[in-house]
Structure 1
Amino acid sequence: MTYDLSYVENRPPNVAVQFRERVRDSADLEAYRYPVGETWESVTWAETGARVDRLAAGLIALGIEPEQRVGIASGTRFEWILADLAIMCAGAATTTVYPSTISEDVCYILADSECRVVFAEDEEQLVKLREHKAELPHLAKVVVLDGSGDGDWVISLADLEQMGAELLERDPSAVDQAIAKIQPDALATLIYTSGTTGRPKGVRLRHSSWTYEGAAIQAMDILSEEDLQFLWLPMAHSFGKVLLSTQLAIGFPTAVDGRVDKIIDNLAVVRPTFMGAAPRIFEKAHNRIVTMQASEGGLKEKIFDQAFKVGLEVDRRKREGKPVPFLLNAQHALFDRLVYSKIRERFGGRVRFFISGAAALNRDIAEWFHAAGIVILEGYGLTETSAGSFVNRPDDYRFGSVGPVMPGSEVKLGDNDEVLIKGPGVMDGYHNLPEETASTLTDDGWLRTGDKGSLDADGYLSITGRIKDLFKTSGGKYIAPSAIESKFKAVCPYASQFLVFGSEHNYCVALVTLDPDTMTGWAEENGMPGASYSEVVASDKAREMVADYVEQLNATLNRWESIKRWELLDHDLTVESGELTPSMKVKRNVVEDNYKEHIAALYA
């Protein structure tokens, strides 16, 4: 696989220059669109550049110096992007905070990073800062995105922009001078991993890491200025930052709205050509479509089921290089008009591909979407590698793999088949944690990912699980729980979480939670309209339904992997309970500790 590496080798020296070059080259083209009430407003690159300059100058007027940290505690919205670009152009470093983060962790992140200024979305975020103001001596100013200032510690976004405008009147080159000082290896971003164990760790990422990410995707030639991105991903997560870097490198417009409950509605309105998402979004969309068809029953359900039987068979034959018989091809064309096209329309009808990252995508779900004519390109990376390290290509993708390594990076397998990555995207280290840094980075620059993987003859990587999550049964068999959990979510359209345990036991057990939204419809169809979630999942019907799906799952597993006993919890796991990270990953150790008596009872 050959690429034009000149994009990587000759990339801009820092994110601020990368942004300025995009503003220069695409001045009058659309940069962003965002919702205002029921309509969408659009801004050009030139308009975006002017606002960013004023906000960057405002930060300089507040006394922000090179590489000092500025926090953003907000959901995904246009103002998040403006704030981040302003921080880059002021020569400072962005520290990201999920809006769902509890106040104690917000305090820890802002104190550990020594943030001087924080962009806070609204009163809810402001309350968290006020609660811990005494513990944040470095925090000089808070800029609220929604609301007004207090005349002292808190100022509005408009106030900051006005301060910047006044500085630029006195010193028109203030931002230019700040940008000129930014070296490629300067700190650009401090992202605290939400961490499935212990305190969050601050990952130090350079300007050259982010310019590399955009340039590497540009070198793949899979996107152009003609594309349109829909961006909803949490910008506190590195996956969202990669997509911003890619936009700066290539110049396509982006529609921004972080409201998760609006994703499907927005896709129909925006009609993007691509979007990044976590697997849970695809799982929920798949489950919603399947359960809606099942609820209709009759002829419609039979047509739907037959359509996917045909679609999956046609795909299988094509992958294996076998001919598609005339009759099967004719059925496929018919089902495309009756079924697949309607599913594509749900996503706007123009999507060339989705990019899935942040966790493993179940192969069955990827194949189901593909049968409907929707391509999901799975990728892989860590916050510690600036998120993007591997991605499948639209013209060469392989189900179950995360693709080949991105141009300019390297991969190899270490002890116990651990995936090791080397390249410009790899972090400098963990903030204030030299021992953690030393245990993660080798002396010659390889990053230990903690993930177990395999590489095929063409360099396509498959992730087989987290090394620390693998466990051994008392019979000596190794189990990768995430693979089993992913299979159950593909089999059961009502599943939310499925947690497998069995270390040093002679069989595996599971804790099960169901998706509250999907179960509302199920309850109505099963004679329980208006019943609470806990009442629904406690019913004999719900247990019988789950039992049937567990039986289906076990039919696909080795004997030693099969789930012998399970328990259906009376509530779903949440971020607020501390059982999920803000990026919706399960904190397995927390769940295991919280439900140790339940798990023990399954072995009684």
Structure 2
Amino acid sequence: MSDTQTLIENRPPSVAHLLLERVAATPDAEAYRYPVPAASGEGPDDWKSLSWAQAAKRIHAVAAGLIDLGLLPEDRVALASSTRIEWILADLGIMCAGAATTTVYPQTNAEESAFILADSGSRVLVAENAEQLAKARAQRENLPDLKHVVVLDAEGAGPADGDPEGWVLTLAELEARGAAHLEKNPDAVEQRIKAIRADHLATIIYTSGTTGRPKGVRLPHDNWSYMAKAIAATGLLTADDVQYLWLPLAHVFGKVLTSGQIELGHVTAVDGRVDKIIENLPVVQPTYMAAVPRIFEKVYNGVAAKARAGGGAKYKIFLWAAEVAREYARTSQDNFRRTGVASVPFGLGAKHKVADKLVYAKLREAFGGRLRAAVSGSVALAPDIGYFFAGAGIHVLEGYGLTETSAASFVNPGEAYRTGTVGKPLPGTEVRIADDGEILLRGPGIMEGYHGLPDKTAEVLEPDGWFHTGDIGELSADGYLRITDRKKDLFKTSGGKYVAPTEIEGRFKGVCPYVSNVLVLGADRNFCSALIALDEAAVMGWAKENGLEGKSYAEVVADPATVALVDGYVQQLNEGLQRWQTVKKFKLLPRDLDVEHGELTPSLKLKRPVVEREFKGLIEEMYAGTRET
């Protein structure tokens, strides 16, 4: 057995144990950075820091406060907040009290929030602000288990008439209560941590299903302890890294990043405001960040739009540099695979140097200038986008995992990464491909099961531990996994040909710099079609230069010139597809798809059935008068 395997298999029972070790080892080292808006409300944010010892003091106060409220081991505490430093402190406090966190996206409506709170049996809710408190208050009669709400932002979120006594308290009040509890019982939190077993429940994360009620995924402490050790064992990160964390911590991808950080001890800068990413990157200067593909697509589209706005010559330079980047990345990765050296021919290297000065260096500066690697997950990244960033010196390492596998099952290995794949399994994770192409996983990261749903658990989790992912994939001879589609998304045309829509959608995103979201259709139809939503910033920039200035987004999208523009990219896409895969017709959507309309999950995954229902009329128009065979 390798040293790495031994280390992972001899892991402690929980991340709470790892936290005690981390604080003891590096108490004065910086743990977290977080923004504090300027007092005037104008100007840049002021960034503050917490050392590991300072963070631990607050975490222990939260834990002791929860104990003082009567919370017992494995009792559930729901957390409904955007990503911020208090989310992490509260989550770790819940863990150190021996309790279990139930995550709730702040965008979730009152009815579904109440379902999650009731289904999980949550006794305490940590609510970000008055808006989240109002949801709980409106549903209080349906939440008999909910005894307290702890509010992070106290403004406008105090107790109201009809609230039970002590039902609402602020985070500051909870911490003060915890500090008083620790004065009387100084070992209270350490005793709770010592009592945590690996199989005790740590987290319930509800999957944002495309149909029906979400399912609660039960993840015991051992899952997170394993993830912390396995992430460290990949060697992708070190104690010297600075991570920029903006992903939703209610999502498993965001949450797993907090476990790995505790094991390694590096700095994490926390700010979940997506509209601040561009502003924050030069300030934080991260060496590492994780993101979803939509962020890289928006950056690519934004860079292309800026070049186009600079005039014909600048745009031609950008298009040339983009192709050089892709060729450079493909060639260097192919050569590394064959020889172990990422070499390129002299001529290509010379072109790359010129393109670097003209385009790539500015792009790297926009990411803060120090980014060694970015991990992309949640959904597939279009290979053409991945190759562009790789060639520009921004190494996007795709990874793969599900809520049911504690987020990280595969990740691309450092220098040996391969664009278009999700890399190799984490140490300790097994993989096999079923006869129908489905990816099966087994290992310490797999969930215990779905909360209160034994039949649903049995559908995906075999008695010997193999988990059915629902994804279709291929394994290379040397262990790299390529995801080809979701099993349930594959469709067959009326001519009997199978089509993998996400592969086509990914290709289109690499071809068309104006696309935001695209949905390829064709199940039981005699040809494939597409619904296409355009990136507002990119297409409005184009519109301004093409005689459509002053028109609204919906008017621009409906204009024949815009349809003709996109048609050119659809024809370009079709040139690289098999005949039965080609997109014969498409419709531009009058607005982009979004979370608010329920068409995207909070992690920006497409909810296909919802989109198809919402735009049924447009779909029927595309197939009107066609004869199904």
Deviates more, 1:4-13 or 1:420-429: 4-13
Question: Partners of 1:16 and 1:231 in 2: how far apart?
Answer: 20
Deviation at 1:269, TM superposition (A): 0.9
Deviation at 1:268, TM superposition (A): 1.1
Helix, strand or coil for the counterpart of 2:424? Answer: coil
Instruction: Identify the match of residue 546 of structure 1 among 549, 566, 579.
Output: 566
Helix, strand or coil for the counterpart of 2:50? Answer: strand
Letter in 2 for 1:560: W
Deviations 1:64-90 (A, max 9, x none): 101010000000000000000000000
Tell me if the contact between 2:431 and 2:440 (Cα under 8 Å) persists in the aligned partners: yes
Helix, strand or coil for the counterpart of 1:395? Answer: helix
Deviation at 1:340, TM superposition (A): 1.1
Please report the RMSD computed on the Cα atoms of aligned residues, expressed in angstroms: 1.5
Deviates more, 1:506-515 or 1:185-194: 506-515
Deviation at 1:525, TM superposition (A): 2.2
Question: Partners of 2:602 and 2:535 in 1: how far apart?
Answer: 18
Helix, strand or coil for the counterpart of 2:425? Answer: coil
Deviation at 1:184, TM superposition (A): 0.6
- Give the match for residue 343 of structure 1: 363
Deviation at 1:323, TM superposition (A): 6.4
Deviation at 1:28, TM superposition (A): 0.4
CA change 1:318–1:575 in 2 (3 A) is: closer
Letter in 1 for 2:521: F
CA change 1:401–1:326 in 2 (3 A) is: closer
- Give the match for residue 604 of structure 2: 584
Question: Partners of 1:13 and 1:328 in 2: how far apart?
Answer: 51
Tell me if the contact between 2:326 and 2:384 (Cα under 8 Å) persists in the aligned partners: no
- Give the match for residue 139 of structure 1: 146
Deviations 1:154-190 (A, max 9, x none): 1101000011011111111111111111101100000
Deviates more, 1:260-269 or 1:293-302: 293-302
- Give the match for residue 69 of structure 2: 62
- Give the match for residue 449 of structure 2: 429
Tell me if the contact between 2:385 and 2:510 (Cα under 8 Å) persists in the aligned partners: yes
Gaps of 5+ in 1: none
Instruction: Identify the match of residue 581 of structure 2 among 554, 561, 568.
Output: 561
Length, aligned pairs only: 604
1:239 aligns with 2:253: yes
- Give the match for residue 339 of structure 2: none
Deviation at 1:254, TM superposition (A): 0.1
Instruction: Identify the match of residue 334 of structure 1 among 347, 350, 354.
Output: 354
Tell me if the contact between 2:304 and 2:315 (Cα under 8 Å) persists in the aligned partners: no
Letter in 2 for 1:309: E
Tell me if the contact between 1:7 and 1:218 (Cα under 8 Å) persists in the aligned partners: no
Q: Please, what TM-score do these two structures have when normalized by structure 2?
A: 0.94
Deviations 1:310-345 (A, max 9, x none): 333333333343964434423322222222111100
Instruction: Identify the match of residue 461 of structure 1 among 481, 491, 499.
Output: 481
- Give the match for residue 290 of structure 1: 304
Equivalences for residues 194-213 of structure 1 within 5 A? 194-213=208-227
- Give the match for residue 40 of structure 2: none
- Give the match for residue 149 of structure 1: 158
Helix, strand or coil for the counterpart of 2:488? Answer: helix
Q: Please, what TM-score do these two structures have when normalized by structure 1?
A: 0.98
- Give the match for residue 618 of structure 2: 598
Letter in 2 for 1:412: R
Question: Partners of 2:276 and 2:3 in 1: how far apart?
Answer: 37
Deviations 1:88-132 (A, max 9, x none): 000000000001111111011001001100110011111111110
Deviation at 1:514, TM superposition (A): 1.1
Helix, strand or coil for the counterpart of 1:469? Answer: coil
Tell me if the contact between 1:194 and 1:583 (Cα under 8 Å) persists in the aligned partners: no
Question: Partners of 1:543 and 1:143 in 2: how far apart?
Answer: 51
Question: Partners of 2:609 and 2:576 in 1: how far apart?
Answer: 27
Instruction: Identify the match of residue 388 of structure 1 among 403, 408, 419.
Output: 408
Deviates more, 1:297-306 or 1:264-273: 297-306
Letter in 2 for 1:25: A
Question: Partners of 2:489 and 2:475 in 1: how far apart?
Answer: 20
Instruction: Identify the match of residue 267 of structure 2 among 250, 253, 261.
Output: 253
Tell me if the contact between 2:329 and 2:388 (Cα under 8 Å) persists in the aligned partners: no
- Give the match for residue 12 of structure 1: 12
Helix, strand or coil for the counterpart of 2:587? Answer: strand
- Give the match for residue 108 of structure 2: 101
1:192 aligns with 2:206: yes
Identity fraction in percent:
56
CA change 1:180–1:479 in 2 (3 A) is: same
Deviation at 1:2, TM superposition (A): 6.8
Equivalences for residues 20-31 of structure 1 within 5 A? 20-31=20-31
Deviations 1:446-485 (A, max 9, x none): 0000001111101111111011110101111100111111
Helix, strand or coil for the counterpart of 1:365? Answer: helix
Letter in 1 for 2:9: E
